[in-house]
Amino acid sequence: MIGLSKGERTREMILARAAPLFNSKGYGRVSMSDLMQATGLEKGGIYNHFRSREELMVEAFRYAADVVRRRVEERTAGPVSSADRLREMVAVYGEFALQPPIEGGCPLLNAAVESDDADPALREQVAEAMERWFRAIRVTLVRGIRRGDVRPDVDVEGTATLIISTLEGAVMLSRLYRTGAHMQSAVRHLQSYIESTIRA
């Protein structure tokens, strides 16, 4: 926050408090009074910093997605093989199911499901954030193929889809039933898939 103007700090504070609210209650269910209570600001104080509710929602989503992405990147950095990096990515998401870095679970899943038919601006941001996740998996696989620690015949797109689908579906089940069993089972499956089909 060093180097930010007072206005920028207030904007950042609003996002930091609005993001968990939208992510847990749902973008459509958060009321103005929820936002005022969470930020300690009046309506005008909030909309000084955002042109519209739509802009606030989109920026809060980006904030939430960034929190998760940074946490995943911290945990999956380091000079490991591609297969190990994928295993770690899967394990980190597994832990997030019940202890998410931001209240309400996975921002991508929540905002994707809420926006797909109802909110084109939010949906576009979610598609972009999801694309970054796909890209991270693709880059990891392609680098592994080049270095020889990933099988050269691996289905790059199919693997990315499988990892993301299975993890996000398991997040949904874990949060619905408030138990870690489904995620544990999904993580086990994906890690054994990584060993049998991806690692060279």
Only segment of 33-41, 76-84, 144-152, 186-194 that touches its own copies (CB under 8 A):
186-194
Contact in structure between 112 and 126 (CB atoms under 8 Å): yes
Is the separation of the CB atoms in 129 and 60 below 8 Å?
no
User: Which residues pair with residue 199 across a beta bridge?
Assistant: 150
| Subset of 20-39 contacting its own copies (CB under 8 A) | 24-26, 28-29
How far is the first Cα of the chain from the last one, in angstroms, to the nearest whole number? 44
Whichever of 21 and 49 has its CB closer to its own copies, that residue is: 21
Taking the CB of residue 82, how many other CB atoms lie within 10 A of it?
A: 25
9 binds its own copies (CB under 8 A): no
**Closer to its own copies at the Cβ: 36 or 130?**
130
> Taking CB under 8 A as the rule, does residue 188 contact its own copies?
yes
Which alpha helices (DSSP H) does 41-180 contain, by range?
A: 43-47, 53-76, 82-96, 107-115, 120-147, 156-177
> 91 CB contacts (<8 Å, ≥6 apart)?
187, 191
Number of residues that bind its own copies (CB under 8 A): 43
Binding mask 133-162 for its own copies (x = CB under 8 A): ----------------------x-xx--xx
CB of 165 to its own copies, least distance (A): 3
Per CB under 8 A, which of residues 57..76 are in contact with its own copies?
none
- Cα gap 15→62, rounded to integer Å: 9
Write down the residue that tokens 């138990």 correspond to.
Answer: 179
Rounded Cα distance between 154 and 145, Å, is 8
Per CB under 8 A, the segment of 8-16, 40-48, 75-83, 115-123 that binds its own copies is 115-123
Binding residues vs its own copies (CB under 8 A): 24-26, 28-29, 103-105, 109-110, 112-114, 116-118, 123, 126-127, 130, 155, 157-158, 161-162, 164-170, 172-173, 175-177, 181-182, 185-186, 188-189
